[in-house]
Structure 1
Amino acid sequence: MKSLASKLAPKAVEKLIPYQSARRIGGSGHLWLNANELESSCQYGDESKGRNDVYNRYPDFLPHDIAVEYQAYCEQASGALGCETVAVRGADEAIDLLIRTFCQPGNDQIMVCPPTYGMYEFCADAFSVNTLAVPLLDNFQLDVAAIKAQLADTSLLFLCSPNNPTSNTIHHHDIVELLEASKASTLIVVDEAYIEFAPETSVLHLMVQYPHLIVIRTLSKAFGLASIRCGFLMADESVMSYVARLIAPYPIADPTAEIALKALAPEGLKSMRSQTDELITTREWFISELQALQIVDVVYASATNFVLIHFNTSNSIYDYLLTKGIVTRNQAHESMLEHCVRISIGSKNSMLETLNALQQYQ
């Protein structure tokens, strides 16, 4: 029986043979003369710190060690996953890979539920794939009936939970209902970039039951490693066998891999959990202080490392904060988020400065 992934993958992708890089082909020996590398390297390390890094060799064609460690980290929380994990250059590359793998330009479409992360539609537009938008309800939950009515014509449904920019999680039962309804038609992608701030809401455990479920993760948020560009794509083998055909020959640089492995080691995980707890404490304090301000209409409950605030002023709070040197995110371009500003949670001192600026607004 053909998998859903095999039905959706365009013929051009089905014919693809992964590029046979030197690392992919492999081999053993003591002279490595198969990749057109220099045997010696210019040294770029900081010798004063005892470092003399060497970068003349290509990295692992597929960063296997990172993927293994990340899957082990996930299995600690969710149990056996029944899926494969691949490291990618940030969650954005995972989005792009999925669209290029399972959508044919000018023929297929994806579905999104705005307001949500803009890269889903951007990646689709860049590949001449149509985007069907089914807006969230007033409570920022899914319009399940409207989504189900259009699943048959959709290759990929992207859901972000916790969602950016609304900061809420999607109801678990709604995701399950959509997984049931999409078994024969649509791959369901759940973007869990912010999941460490609400780990109990993860859908990873559903992957055993639903092989058409795909999960995207990242080290950019709770791990605090946005600059190294390391994310993860987690999917059933039937899905991954097609995605793997489009993965770049050397997707993760060695320095990135080394940092990622440290972050996923026991001490790294301990540090991540500690800073996550501290951020959540700061976030809840900041929310309580915001709710006392007359210019604030609503502070939406947050399951992320940011808060979404609806202000009752006629002037732009975003522009006002800029005059104070505080850069936030104006969400007024979203039809449902007029007069809304998204503020990331920083240190206690940063949030105090922001709060003081808002208190001084007249």
Structure 2
Amino acid sequence: MLSLADKLAPEVVKNLIPYQSARRIGGNGHIWLNANELEESELYGESEGYNRYPDFLPQVIEQAYLDYSSHFTPSGNPLSCQSRAVRGADEGIDLLIRTFCEPGKDRIIVCPPTYAMYEFCADAFALKTIKVPLIEGFGLDLDGIKENLPHSKMLFLCSPNNPTGNVIPHSHIIQLLEAAKETTLIVVDEAYIEFAPHTTVAELIASYPNLIVIRTLSKAFGLASARIGFILADRSVMTYLSRLIAPYPIPDPSARIAEKALADSGIAAMRNQTEALVSVRDWFADEVALLPFVEAVYPSATNFVLIRFNTDDCLYRYLLEHGIVTRNQAHEPQLKRCVRISVGTQASMQETLNALKAFKAASPQNAA
């Protein structure tokens, strides 16, 4: 019986044979002359050289990530899926689109306001993007999405969502998985999942092979520059992803960093750091909500807060003038007068709060 991945994968992908890199072909010996590497090289101040290619599949960190992810499933049971390491969640998005979609023919669905890379990658691959905007309260328009599922290869959801900070209820995702069983792959981007681990949907992959989960070590683990992401998916999906994945997907230095981060000590450190950040986030949100020119501070299950101001003055520009760089969200129709502020240290957030209070003092006419 054909899986949904079998039905959706283009013929050109089905016919691909994974690139046979020197590491993939392998072999054992004491002199390695098969990959056109330098046998010796300058150390560049490091304790070891970088002259050898890394593993063709970083299986150690993939298994470590699968083990880590199994620890916070709602049931506590091991995940029944596979893991693939990619160079950040952004590469995961691009890889999924290149694997299952055909340029100039296929469509994806996004639900703005949400992460812009879904549409960007689709545009770069000449796909049509169907937009089903979030409804009031930043919820999903379930009927609008279902209407477009039969004609779309993929649906991208972000939970917790960027830039709104809210979580999509499990029941809504299950509704969509049921509706898309025969037609559409549903990708749930869980980049911020460590800030709300109980909301993960990864365990649903066992029941819904049309579900794909994207993760990253860039956020809660604080490894944005290492560029380490993961795709969690059913074997049927991984069969095709593996045909397009880069020959050496993860540089050795990044893989070693990821291995340390996913060790027990690294996970414990991440959780302590996350707990401290959430405390600062909630304090900052409560304080900002008291300012008279703030219309709303939206609930957040992430490492940022989204704030809507009731003044036409752009608080983004005002904060920038004070050396505080935030993210202006006014380009989104539903986020007029909104600024997204990442949560930093207590000192950084106190300085940001002081700057906002100074705006109130300097511009009382703006405090409606």
TM-score bracket, shorter-length normalisation = over 0.9
Instruction: Quote the residue 2:43 is aligned against.
Output: 43
Helix, strand or coil for the counterpart of 1:350?
Answer: helix
1:342 match: 340
Q: Which runs of 5+ in 2 are unaligned?
A: 364-368
Any runs of at least 4 consecutive aligned residues in structure 1 with deviations exceeding 2 A, and if so which? none
In structure 2, distance between residues paired with 1:62 and 1:112: 31
Indicate conservation of the 8 Å contact 2:86/2:228, yes or no: yes
CA deviations 1:205-233 (Å, max 9, x no partner) are 11110011000000000000000000001
User: Any idea what the Cα deviations from partners look like across 1:291-313, whole Å, max 9, x if unmatched?
Assistant: 11011000000000000000001
TM-score, length basis structure 1: 0.98
User: Who is 1:360 aligned against?
Assistant: 358
Residue 261 of structure 1: how far off its partner (Å): 0.4
Residue 293 of structure 2 aligns with which residue? 295
Shift of 1:21: 0.2
Q: Distance in 2 between matches of 1:285 and 1:323?
A: 24
Other-structure match for 2:50 = 55
Q: Distance in 2 between matches of 1:52 and 1:267?
A: 23
Contact 2:67 2:78 in 1 (8 A): no
C-alpha distance in 1 between matches for 2:350 and 2:165: 21
Identity of aligned residues (%): 63
| Equivalent position to 2:184, from 168, 183, 186 | 186
TM-superposition CA deviations, 1:162-206 (whole Å, max 9, x none): 000000001110000000000000000000000000001000111
Q: More displaced, 73-82 or 281-290?
A: 73-82
Q: Give the structure 2 partner of residue 101 of structure 1.
A: 99
Decide whether the 8 Å contact of 2:187 with 2:211 is kept in 1. yes
Give 1:17 deviation, angstroms: 0.6
CA distance, structure 2, for counterparts of residue 84 and residue 315 of structure 1: 49
Q: Distance in 2 between matches of 1:258 and 1:119?
A: 27
In the TM superposition, 1:32-181 aligns within 5 A as 32-45=32-45, 51-78=46-73, 79-181=77-179
One-letter identity of the residue aligned with 1:93: E
The TM-score, its normalising length taken from structure 2, stands at 0.96
Structure 1 window deviating more from structure 2 (321-330 vs 70-79): it is 70-79
How far, CA to CA, are the matches of 1:73 and 1:41 in structure 2?
36
* 8 Å Cα contact 2:19/2:247 also seen in 1: yes
| Cα separation, 2, equivalents of 1:81 and 1:149 | 31
| SS across alignment from 1:313 | coil
In structure 2, the residue matched to 1:4 is 4
Give the Cα separation in 2 of the matches to 1:80 and 1:142: 29
1:308 to 288, 306, 309: 306
Report deviation, 1:116: 0.1
Match of 1:210 among 203, 208, 222: 208
Q: 1:197 aligns with which of 178, 195, 198?
A: 195
In 2, the alpha carbon distance for the partners of 1:326 and 1:349 equals: 12
Measured after TM superposition, the shift of residue 53 of structure 1 is: 2.2
Cα shift at 1:65: 0.5
User: What per-residue deviation string (whole Å, max 9, x for no partner) do you get for residues 259-288 of structure 1?
Assistant: 000000011001000000000000000011
Instruction: Give a deviation string over 1:120-146, Cα, whole Å, max 9, x none.
Output: 000000010111000001110100011
- The SS at the match of 2:296 is strand
Partner secondary structure for residue 244 of structure 1: helix
CA distance in 2, matches of 1:74, 1:248: 24
Letter in 1 for 2:148: Q
Distance 1:293 1:36 in 2: 63
Give the secondary-structure state (helix, strand or coil) at the position aligned to 1:360: helix
Q: CA deviation at 1:80?
A: 2.0
Unaligned runs of 5+ in 1: 46-50
Match of 2:271 in 1: 273
Amino acid at match of 1:203: V
Q: Report the number of matched residues.
A: 357
Give a deviation string over 1:148-168, Cα, whole Å, max 9, x none: 011000100000000000000
Instruction: Determine helix, strand or coil for the equivalent of 1:59.
Output: coil
Q: What is the one-letter code of the residue matched to 1:41?
A: S
**Distance in 2 between the 1:193 and 1:109 partners?**
23
Partner of 1:15: 15
Deviation at 1:82, TM superposition (A): 1.3
Root mean square deviation, CA, Å: 0.6
